[in-house]
Every structure is written in structure tokens, then in C-alpha cells.
Amino acid sequence: MISIWGGVMAQTSLIIETLKKALKSHGKIYADVAKHLGLSEASVKRMFAQQTISLKRLDAICHMMDLEITELVQQASDATALQIEELSDEQEKEIVGDIELLLVTVCVMHHWTLEDILKAYKLSEARCIQLLAKLDRINIIELLPSNRIKVKVSPNFRWREHGHILRFFQKNVEAEFFNSSFALPQEKLIVLNGMLSDESNATFQRKLERLAREFDEMTKEDCPLPIRQRKGYTSVLAIRNWQYSLFTHLRRT
């Protein structure tokens, strides 16, 4: 959480997302923010990506738009009032039970248009619109005139922990994902082993969460680019107290 102002509690990511939209609506870019704060543009980009904006700097950025922090928080609250952060168990079950619906769900989450989906996959236009209508009913998207798609999920949206969709990917995708040498220039596999205290483990997990936010931020920044300039990437960040079962029989009881 970032804080509580005027009785309104907002997630950091929501505040940052709302701030970016406010800057855009006021015709401001990162270079303007950098000049106003006396920082380099690279520092400002990193600050937004890592979501490490201090209250003092947040106030200064709002000031350059003649905006109060309380107004920004209210805008964030209003913008997300109708957005969902998590599906119900039944909704996830419905999506994962239809592979075509699951495909279209993933596509719209990545801000694909109807035309993008039809070009990439063997779905008829009628079938694709039918699937989009289902997602509209579930409230993941709003299907607009001319079959334009407005994604309605919150920036904090996550699949249910231990839910149908995560279990599906763990069962069906995990082995295929790791069946690679990770030798191509755009691939990377890093396996770390070590012994950590609980405190160090907690610190490392916070860094993983920050890295995940940076990944999300990059996907949002690249959304305006045409599909041909973007590729689908999956990154798995995980840590657990674990020992390979092959060694179990050698352990002293």
C-alpha cells in the first residue's frame, strides 16, 4: 500500500498508473517530469518502473499539473471502482474449460484487437465475437461498437491463487516451457542455489515482486506498438525451501 489520504486507500500501482494517465492528458512526458524534478530522464523512467516515487516527488509532479494528491487518489479510486482484481472460482473454471476462450482471454489481456486475433489464429470472426461476448459478460472486457475491445481488469489483476487457471498452466505449460536450452539471444535461464535466513528470503521476495512490476510496466509501455513489433514472453520468478528428492535417502533422520 502507498498510504491513506482522505480515507482513500490505493495500491501503489494504481496511483502510478493514474499519474501516468494524468501526465498524458496534460501533454507531459518523462522529459518534462525530469526537468521539473531536476533528474535525468533515465532516472525518472526507472522511478516509474520501480514504483519508488516519494511523497515529496509525487506532490511535485502533481503540482506541475495543478493537481492535488488527494485528487489523484480520487481519480485512481474512480477509475478502478468498476474494475475487477480477481475472477470467481466459477469464472476461471469456465475459461479454462474452453481452450478457445482461454486463448482469447490471454490475447485481450495483452491488448490484442479482434483483427490481431483473427490474423494469428484459426478462429472465425463469428466465433471470436462470441468468445469476446462471453468475456464481456464476465466483465473482463467491454465489447464496444465495431467490436473494439476495452480491457476492464484492474492493474492489480491476478489469477486466483491455486485457482483453475494457474493449475492449468502448471499442469500443461510448465514442462513445455522448460523444455529448452535457453540458448537464443532473447532467452535466459538462471538457477540459483544457496542458504538464506528468513530475513534475506523476505528481502529477495520483495525484489522479485519489484522485478515483476517492472515487467508489467514494460508490457504497458509497449502496448501501443503494433503486434508485429512485439513477441510473447513468459518469465517465471520463484523461490522455495526445497531439496531434490534424489538426495532424500542420504539424509540422516
pLDDT digits (tens, 9 = 90+) for 182-221: 999 999 999 999 999 999 999 999 999 889 888 887 887 8
Per residue in 231-244, pLDDT (tens digit) is 989 898 999 998 88
Name the β-bridge partners of 143.
Answer: 149
Q: What is the largest CA-CA distance in the chain?
A: 68
Domain assignment present for residue 42? The answer is yes
Q: Which residues have a Cβ under 8 Å from the Cβ of 195 and sit 6 or more positions away? A: none
> What's the one-letter identity of residue 209?
E
d(CA 138, CA 177): 29
In the numeric block, the cell 469476446 is attached to 132
Confidence of residue 5 (pLDDT cuts 50, 70, 90): very low
Query: Is the separation of the CB atoms in 172 and 103 below 8 Å?
Result: no
Assess whether 65 and 104 both reside in one domain: no
**pTM of the complete model:** 0.64
- 69 and 95 fall within a common domain: no
Indicate the pLDDT class of residue 6, thresholds 50, 70 and 90. very low
- Does any domain span residue 165? no
Dihedral class, residue 102 (left if φ above 0, else alpha if ψ from -120 to 50, else beta): alpha
For residue 112, the enclosing domain spans: 89-151
Residue 73 and residue 112 in one domain:
no
Look up cell 521476495; give the residue: 205
Q: Do residues 172 and 179 make contact, with C-beta atoms less than 8 angstroms apart? A: no
The number of domains in the chain is 3
Triad 241, 243, 244: Cα angle to 5°: 145
Residue 164: CB partners within 8 Å, gap ≥ 6? 89, 92, 93, 95, 96
118 and 96 fall within a common domain:
yes
As beta bridge partners, residue 10 has 3
pLDDT (0 to 100) of residue 4: 30
d(CA 187, CA 81): 38
Q: Are residues 75 and 101 in the same domain?
A: no
Residue 156: per-residue pLDDT: 64
* Inside any domain, residue 172: no
Q: Is residue 157 part of a domain?
A: no
